[in-house]
């Protein structure tokens, strides 16, 4: 896996962990009746979730780009082999 994909996945994972932490804190404050603090943590959790989704999408796009590039290269090589084979048999 490329380093940029790995970094994007690690970043997404970190943001998901931070979101989970803030959702848990929001729940604790909600139970305690501290609604302003609960709202604050819920807002932070939402932001981390949005970042996690963006990093996950970035990683998926990097995988797609790499997959398409690799397949394109393989197809080019196999097409060249086929063409070379037909040129050799014609000679």
9-26, pLDDT tens digit by residue?
899 999 999 999 999 999
Report whether pLDDT(58) > 60: yes
pTM score, whole prediction: 0.67
- Residue 89: CA atoms inside 13 Å, Cβ hemisphere, count? 6
Average pLDDT of every residue of the chain: 83
Give the separation between CA 74 and CA 57, rounded to whole angstroms: 26
Report whether pLDDT(63) > 90: no
Closest to 18 in 3D by CA, of 57, 47, 61: 47
Average pLDDT on 41-62 reads 94
Q: Is 32 helix (H, G, I), strand (E, B) or coil?
A: coil
Report whether pLDDT(91) > 70: no
Give the separation between CA 14 and CA 18, rounded to whole angstroms: 6
């Amino acid at each position: 896996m490329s380093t940029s994909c790995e970094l994007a996945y690690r970043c997404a994972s970190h943001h998901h962990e931070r979101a989970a932490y803030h959702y848990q804190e929001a729940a604790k404050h909600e139970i305690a009746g501290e609604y302003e603090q609960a709202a604050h943590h819920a807002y932070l959790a939402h932001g981390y979730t949005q970042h996690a989704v963006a990093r996950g999408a970035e990683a998926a796009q990097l995988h797609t780009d790499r997959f398409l590039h690799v397949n394109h290269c393989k197809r080019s090589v196999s097409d060249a082999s086929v063409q070379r084979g037909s040129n050799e048999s014609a000679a």
